[in-house]
Amino acid sequence: MIIVTGGAGFIGSNIVKALNQSGEDDILIVDRLGTSDKWKNLADLSFMDYEPKEQFLPKVEQGVFDHGTKAVIHMGACSATTERDADYLMQNNFAYTRRLATRFAAKDQIRFIYASSAATYGDGSQGYCDEHRCVPALKPLNMYGYSKQLFDLWALKTGFVDRAVGLKYFNVFGPNEYHKGDMRSVAIRAYAQVKKTGKVRLFKSYRDGYRHGEQSRDFIYVKDAVRVTLFFLERPQLNGLFNVGTAAPRNFNDLAASVFAALGKDPAVEYIDMPDGLEPRYQYYTAATPEKLRQAGFTGGFSSLEDAVHDYIVNYLEKDPRGEEAVG
């Protein structure tokens, strides 16, 4: 059995779908569905069982899943970079992951892969180095990033990272992010804006060297992020922290142009002021360093921004009823 926490969420549900496509359906999905429409991400997936996250951890600590589990892919977390409840993030992202890892740490036969985040890099002033020696110097800009940083540091200090994989996902976008509200990617929000108003709104730049809309991100299509994740699932001899990004950052003007192109429309962009208080915490540039992932043997390419946005819009947002819900 493979356990996927956050299996009804954005990246988690895409991982389960990819596992299904490879013939694997002996899967336990762990999540909290609540009152959102996240349950819809489960509708076309094949899995053996579902466990609410609150009930899952006590069973783990009782040893219920010690036998028969091949791997734990831990994607479950609060991913809201705007979440202000620090105690909640400490419990949900750091303490929960630590307790889960502690139980499985001594189980050499169980593969453990967890989601870290590029948010740990903060403003990028310390670079985007995923070598273990670089991690202690990182300074996240928000509590979400700090909660992820804390677990990375714990994994390094205890040696857990030497028998597990932590994946620092950069700016992932793609199918099944409908339920994420304000945390949806710029791609789906730009799509919704174009459908509703005919134009895309982007933040103005307040930094020398960056024109409006030239702020850049390492955008990675969720299908590519999943391929990297399953690469490590299939290679239990590889452990450590790894960046998951294209290493080819693109700016928001490029992203907007890709959305308009996929919809067959001429670009129309409006630049707006940033909300009060955001500018000091705003990242103007992110880019994964690819060397460590390549050295591990991952030779797969990544979708171009244009191809990924086209696939996302034409084959998902335009065909899935939830694409219209995103517009409302």
Per-residue pLDDT tens for 144-164? 999 999 999 999 999 999 999
Kindly indicate the confidence band of residue 327, based on its pLDDT and cuts at 50, 70 and 90: confident
Residue 14 CB contacts under 8 Å (≥ 6 apart), including other chains: 174, 175, 176, 222, 223, 225, 226
Same-domain pairing of 194 and 310: yes
- In this prediction, residue 157 carries a pLDDT of 97
Tell me the pLDDT of the chain averaged across its residues: 94
Q: Which of 108-112, 169-173, 260-264 is predicted with the least confidence, judged by mean pLDDT?
A: 108-112
Domain that holds residue 79: 2-171+220-244
Instruction: Name the range with the highest mean pLDDT among 32-41, 42-51, 71-80.
Output: 42-51
Are 79 and 207 contained in the same domain? Answer: no
List, for residues 227-266, the tens digit of each pLDDT value. 999 999 999 999 999 999 999 999 999 999 999 999 999 9
Segment 87-92 mean pLDDT: 88
CB 214 within 8 A of CB 253: yes
Judgement on whether residues 78 and 143 belong to the same structural domain of the protein: yes
Distances (CA, A) of 79 to 39, 97, 238: 17, 14, 26
Least confident of 23-37, 100-114, 134-148: 100-114
Averaged pLDDT for residues 287-295 = 96
CA distance 142 to 122: 8
Q: Name the residue with tokens 């990033």.
A: 145
Helix axes 252-262, 186-197, angle to 10 degrees: 50
Question: Residue 85, SS3?
Answer: coil
Residues 178 and 160 occupy one common structural domain: no
HSE (side-chain half, CA atoms, 13 Å) at 288: 26
Task: Provide the pLDDT for residue 328.
Answer: 58
pLDDT at residue 276 greater than cutoff 90: no
**Residue 211 phi/psi, 5° resolution?**
-75, 165
* Backbone phi, psi, residue 256, to 5°: -60, -45
* Residue 19 sits in the same domain as residue 9: yes
Regarding pTM above 0.85, the answer is yes
Do 100 and 182 belong together in one domain?
no
Asked if 58 and 166 sit in the same domain, the reply is yes
Which of 53, 107, 180, 292 is an active site residue?
A: 180
User: DSSP 3-state assignment of 112?
Assistant: strand
Q: Active site includes 312?
A: no
The catalytically annotated residue of 96, 144, 221, 316 is 144
Q: How many domains does the chain have?
A: 2
Catalytic, 206? Answer no
Q: Do 35 and 99 belong together in one domain?
A: yes
One domain, residues 234 and 315: no
Q: Which residues contact 17 (CB under 8 A, 6 or more apart)?
A: 44, 45
Distance CA 313, CA 40 (A): 18
